[in-house]
Chains A and B, each alone.
Chain A
Amino acid sequence: MTRSSLVPIILAILAIAVSLMLGRYGAYLTHVVAIAAIGAMSLNLLNGWCGQINFAQAALLGVGAYTAGNCGNAGWDVFSLLAAGIASALAAVLIGLPALRLRGLYFAIATLAAQFIFEYLFKFAEPITHGVSGLLIQPMKLLGRVIDTDQGYAVLAICLLLLTWLFMTWIRRTDLGRAFLVVRENEVVARGMGINVPQTKMWAFLISGFFAGIAGGLMGFTDRLAHPEAFGMGLSVDYIAMIIVGGLGSLPGSLLGAAFVSLLPEAIQRFGEAFNMADQLSAFREMAFGLLIILFLIFEPRGLSAILGKTNVQRMMARFARRPTNPVRDQAKNQPKWRSVE
């Protein structure tokens, strides 16, 4: 175990302890943020690292929720989440197929079309989805034990978030992870470097889809209902907002963006209650959301992670979890500030 993986593990343990102390409502908010963070990280891999804009994230979450719901109801236990991941991964590959021929805005439009196709399927594939009335989902079973409390889901979601984080950190350092970045920067250069661009893109869709499915499955279990209206375009926009606000391409940014987007309405609500103007601020919540995205794009396009980067917190964490990933930087750092000329 490296020191860099120790930090997230410690933070996860702390998060679990805090969520258990906060009570049911606090635990609920914790698992909402943790699930959103898994989904945001999956989108970040595709969008932030590999440069493939995906407007169909909600559809992938939906596939995960319906798969997990059906498998969970059939008594698949923990395998229902795995099945959700696999089903969404396959769906993501399908969505990604046009990426072999299309790029940029054209591909983004293709994913938009995919989002609407899946929304239609959620409504009309009644044997699987129960149509517009939605699929009622039984509480999740984990190794035979029923999870029916928010605290239970908070612990599970944090554990899965930790695994997602560790996996993403690992894959980022592999050849495939580096290939993602090269494909994002320039496909022609990537080809010139011997990278199989279509295969790299497909891997990005497959991995991203898998984690989106896990997040969707968890959403299904915690909501106890998979409903077509819950996986509409608005949710895809929320996830895009998470990775933009958090910082495109940044793993901590995905986590911060997920927390920010999930908790902002709650913060505005509490602020309104404190000043006896909750009703008036309700209307402002949606507006504030849009306004903040615009402000971030103008003033800090690198998102919350960049803001956090300027604080002592990240410097402290970096000092603790320093890793020699940049030999040039480390070499330069180890050089004496001046050398005497012999």
Chain B
Amino acid sequence: MNKLLRNAMLTAGLLSCIAPATAADINFCMWGTITGPDALVNGMAYGPRDYMEFLNQTKGGIAGNKVKLLLLDGRYKLDEELKNYRRCVDQEQAVVINGWSTGSVKALRDQITQDQVPFMTQSYSSEVLDPVKLPYIFMAGPTYEQQMIIALRDAANAGGKTVIIMHGDNEYGRGPTTVVRQSGVIEKLGLTLVDTVEFPYDAQDITAQMLRVKSKNPDLVYVQSSTPQLIVALRDAAKVGLPATKFVGNAYNISPAIPAQLGAAAEGFRAIQIYSDYGSDIPAMKDINAFKANNKIEKEDVYYMKGWMEGVAISKAIEVAIAKNGGKVPDDIKAFRKSVRDEMENLKDVDAGGITPPLSFASHQGSTQARLAVIKDGKYVPLGDWINAQ
């Protein structure tokens, strides 16, 4: 036993000091939450990996150069994500990094600028979106605040007067709520914010909060939370007699788990949809199905589509950067990264295969359009056309 433990220790030590990755044409490194509290949406970690692998299998990579892929598990833990970032930048010599949580991107934002490495974040936080101060950070859709405004605008157009915002007691919940409240946009839309209800992010029962919401009888309840919390919210809303039709969630509330777990109690719930759902009748599905014929797709959901779309945008920027370097991958990784960043920013009207309207990254957001989707007969059905959040 002791010998075994000693050997395990030695192995751990040696493995941790493994030499940097061997040279490859293009290194693409990413981390997601393979395991962790928000693993339910980790399709967006597999999406970019699969798209790059699709390019490797069908086109020999990007502009004929194989893409070396590494997907790490950030476990939604700050220290783990910071470690992954160092590995991607230093050991893997990644030309582009795809990272995960808002917290980690905030912690890393100065280092990303210092390292001059293009970084696609899965976060929608406006705090990490600043093309001038943070020129290397890119985002794949409207910010949480913009998503909230789309929902509020829709409520105002439908003749609504009163609104309640519910959110978890963490940054993801409080941050966007505070920004929207302070911006005065609610009042400008002719709405009245009758209450803001906070609940513990990991709460298993929020019946008391729902009774408070019910007493105010709002026309719209916007919930800024992830899928697990939303399931609790809608379950307890049904318990106190509040219909799901009053509730609207953000882009992370488009999840098959919601109708699957709640059944009739989820009917009429609306959420912000930025990306077309998996299985939609769009051109991108043709590629995805072709990939699926020979490979396993871990998550077949809307978040996977987001990841696939990110893969499309990143590969396009790399392709242009290589083309501008005479069709060769630049030898100097710093120059390659800088060039990819510039081309990322120059991307205009990139065809995302219908996952989103054409992408442009001049504002570092890719797409600022979204639409509302409603749960009808256990499925999300888009309501109307794409709306520009700006």
What is the interface of chain A, defined by CB distance below 8 A to chain B? 22-26, 28-29, 32, 123, 131-134, 136, 148, 150, 223-225, 227, 229-230, 256, 259-260, 263-267, 269-271, 273-274, 278-279, 282-283, 285-286, 299-300, 304, 307, 310-311
Given A136-B107, A229-B78, A300-B2, 7 more pairs with CB closer than 8 A: A132-B169, A133-B127, A223-B82, A256-B9, A263-B12, A279-B34, A283-B35
For residue B171, which residues in chain A have a CB less than 8 angstroms away from its CB?
131-134
B22 at interface, CB cutoff 8 A: no
A32 CB, nearest partner CB in chain B, Å: 7
Question: Which of A133, A267, A285 contacts B12 (CB under 8 A)?
Answer: A267
CB-based contact B5/A269 at 8 Å: no
Stretch in contact with the other chain, from B85-93, B186-194, B239-247:
B85-93
- Closest B-chain residue to A23, C-beta based? B90
CB-based contact B86/A150 at 8 Å: yes
Contact flag A260-B9 (CB < 8 Å), given A22-B17, A24-B90:
yes
- Closest A-chain residue to B106, C-beta based? A225
For residue B114, which residues in chain A have a CB less than 8 angstroms away from its CB?
148
Bound-state CA distance A278–B169 (Å) is 33
- Closest A-chain residue to B5, C-beta based? A307
Bound-state CA distance A10–B169 (Å) is 48
- Closest B-chain residue to A124, C-beta based? B169
Bound-state CA distance A23–B298 (Å) is 34
CB-based contact A223/B107 at 8 Å: yes
Contact flag A307-B35 (CB < 8 Å), given A134-B171, A260-B9:
no
A28 CB, nearest partner CB in chain B, Å: 5
CB-based contact A299/B103 at 8 Å: no
Contact flag A225-B6 (CB < 8 Å), given A23-B20, A32-B83, A230-B79:
no
For residue A270, which residues in chain B have a CB less than 8 angstroms away from its CB?
15-16, 18
Nearest 5 A/B pairs, CB to CB: A267-B12, A225-B107, A24-B90, A270-B15, A282-B73
Q: What is the interface residue range for chain B against chain A?
A: 35 or more
- Chain B, residues 104-145, CB within 8 Å of chain A (1/0): the string is 001110110010000000000001000000000000000000
Bound-state CA distance A211–B6 (Å) is 29
Bound-state CA distance A68–B13 (Å) is 31
A302 CB, nearest partner CB in chain B, Å: 11
- Chain B, residues 67-105, CB within 8 Å of chain A (1/0): the string is 000111101001110110011011100000000000100
Residues 9-54 (chain B) with a chain A CB within 8 angstroms: 9, 11-13, 15-18, 20, 34-35
For residue B89, which residues in chain A have a CB less than 8 angstroms away from its CB?
24
Bound-state CA distance A223–B75 (Å) is 16
A288 CB, nearest partner CB in chain B, Å: 10
CB-based contact B15/A224 at 8 Å: no
Main secondary structure of the interface of A (DSSP, over half): helix
For residue B354, which residues in chain A have a CB less than 8 angstroms away from its CB?
none
15 pairs from A and B in contact (CB 8 Å cutoff): A24-B86, A28-B83, A32-B79, A132-B171, A224-B110, A225-B78, A227-B78, A227-B103, A229-B103, A229-B170, A230-B103, A264-B12, A267-B11, A279-B71, A300-B2
- Closest B-chain residue to A150, C-beta based? B86
CB-based contact B73/A269 at 8 Å: yes
A185 CB, nearest partner CB in chain B, Å: 27
Contact flag A300-B9 (CB < 8 Å), given A266-B83, A269-B72:
no
B175 at interface, CB cutoff 8 A: yes
What is the interface of chain B, defined by CB distance below 8 A to chain A? 1-2, 5-6, 9, 11-13, 15-18, 20, 34-35, 70-73, 75, 78-80, 82-83, 86-87, 89-91, 103, 106-108, 110-111, 114, 127, 169-171, 173-175, 298
Question: Which of B13, B16, B78 contacts A223 (CB under 8 A)?
Answer: B78
Bound-state CA distance A191–B110 (Å) is 55
Bound-state CA distance A323–B2 (Å) is 28
CB-based contact B174/A132 at 8 Å: yes
CB-based contact A28/B86 at 8 Å: yes
CB-based contact B107/A224 at 8 Å: yes
CB-based contact B6/A131 at 8 Å: no
For residue A266, which residues in chain B have a CB less than 8 angstroms away from its CB?
12, 15-16, 83
- Closest B-chain residue to A266, C-beta based? B16
Question: Which of A25, A136, A269 contacts B106 (CB under 8 A)?
Answer: A136
B82 CB, nearest partner CB in chain A, Å: 6
Question: Which of B6, B108, B170 contacts A307 (CB under 8 A)?
Answer: B6
- Closest A-chain residue to B73, C-beta based? A282
Bound-state CA distance A230–B175 (Å) is 18
Contact flag A224-B111 (CB < 8 Å), given A23-B20, A24-B89:
yes
For residue A28, which residues in chain B have a CB less than 8 angstroms away from its CB?
82-83, 86, 90
For residue A286, which residues in chain B have a CB less than 8 angstroms away from its CB?
35
Contact flag A26-B72 (CB < 8 Å), given A133-B174, A304-B9:
no
Question: Which of B16, B87, B91, B111 contacts A267 (CB under 8 A)?
Answer: B16
Bound-state CA distance A158–B385 (Å) is 58
* Residue of B79, B80, B89, B169 contacting most chain A CB atoms (<10 Å): B79
For residue A265, which residues in chain B have a CB less than 8 angstroms away from its CB?
80
B227 CB, nearest partner CB in chain A, Å: 19
Bound-state CA distance A136–B106 (Å) is 8
For residue B80, which residues in chain A have a CB less than 8 angstroms away from its CB?
265
Question: Which of B5, B87, B103 contacts A300 (CB under 8 A)?
Answer: B5
B29 CB, nearest partner CB in chain A, Å: 12
CB-based contact A25/B5 at 8 Å: no
Bound-state CA distance A133–B173 (Å) is 10
Contact flag A307-B2 (CB < 8 Å), given A26-B17, A224-B107, A225-B78:
yes
* Residue of A25, A134, A279 contacting most chain B CB atoms (<10 Å): A25
Contact flag A25-B15 (CB < 8 Å), given A223-B78, A229-B170:
no
A150 CB, nearest partner CB in chain B, Å: 7
* Residue of A256, A267, A310 contacting most chain B CB atoms (<10 Å): A267
For residue B2, which residues in chain A have a CB less than 8 angstroms away from its CB?
300, 307, 310
For residue B18, which residues in chain A have a CB less than 8 angstroms away from its CB?
270
- Closest A-chain residue to B70, C-beta based? A273
B287 CB, nearest partner CB in chain A, Å: 22
CB-based contact A25/B91 at 8 Å: yes
For residue A274, which residues in chain B have a CB less than 8 angstroms away from its CB?
15
- Closest B-chain residue to A219, C-beta based? B79
For residue A260, which residues in chain B have a CB less than 8 angstroms away from its CB?
9, 12
Bound-state CA distance A265–B175 (Å) is 31
For residue A22, which residues in chain B have a CB less than 8 angstroms away from its CB?
17
For residue A23, which residues in chain B have a CB less than 8 angstroms away from its CB?
20, 90-91
